[in-house]
Homo-oligomer: A and B are copies of this chain.
Amino acid sequence: MAAKPRSASKRSQRTKLQPIQEASSEPPLSRERIVAIAVELLDAQGIDGLTMRRLADRLGSGVMSLYWHVDNKEDVFDLALDSVLEHRGSPETGESPDWRGDVVHMLEDWRARMLRHPWSASLLPRRALGPNILSRLEMLSKTLSRAGVADANLNAAIWSLWNYVMGATLTRASFDLSEEDRAAAQQRLTHLSEHYPTIERSRLLLDNDWDGAFRKGLDFLLDGLSPR
């Protein structure tokens, strides 16, 4: 009666030997393979490009076979997101004297990883507390604590940095997707410069130095966070 395993791990505990799987075509299905191909598909076709049928096609399997390894499509999204946020805890946990540099480095890596897969930003609005995220939060917490941030401010400080990174990534990803919209917006804006004179003058929407702006804003925030 093949009881469908509960939502948790049903991954092959890889008993003795995998049955040779002659070189014919496809390796056996596995969560890892599903997630990997899902990410490929998302990278290539965007968020709407991922359908269970396409995923199965690319894996050379039947559609319903996926559901043995995965609960549903939501599950695929969650796994794909988590795989993008991968983070191996730095081995030198916390004796570097340059705490600011450490924080900046970790957060820039975080942002860069997500921007390499722009669809990940639009998946953020779902619960996302996988081990990778927790590990990053832990690193933040430890470093800030070490830097002398007061305990009463610690949580607020962590969330501030998290929020900033999420917002910046989201903004960057969505603007990147629609370069022409931005042009159109600036167009409209120039046309309506009577309504929005200040942002028109500062060319807010034409400024393309996203990385620089991210770094600068992060510096503002860290300036404010630094214990005085």
Contacts and interface: CB of A to CB of B under 8 A. Distances in A.
Contacts of A154: 202
A129 B145 CA distance: 38
Query: How many copies of this chain?
Result: 2
A177 to B, nearest CB: 7
A50 B170 CA distance: 24
A131 B189 CA distance: 10
A159 interface: yes
Contact of A220 (B142, B160, B181): B160
**Dominant secondary structure of chain A at its interface with chain B:** helix
Given A204-B141, A219-B224, A171 B159 contact: yes
18 contacts: A121-B125, A125-B125, A126-B174, A129-B181, A134-B185, A134-B196, A138-B197, A154-B202, A155-B202, A155-B203, A155-B204, A156-B216, A160-B221, A162-B171, A163-B167, A167-B170, A222-B224, A223-B224
Task: Across the A-B interface, give the 9 residue pairs with the lowest CB-CB distance, nearest first.
Answer: A167-B167, A160-B217, A163-B167, A224-B224, A220-B224, A223-B224, A122-B125, A166-B167, A156-B216
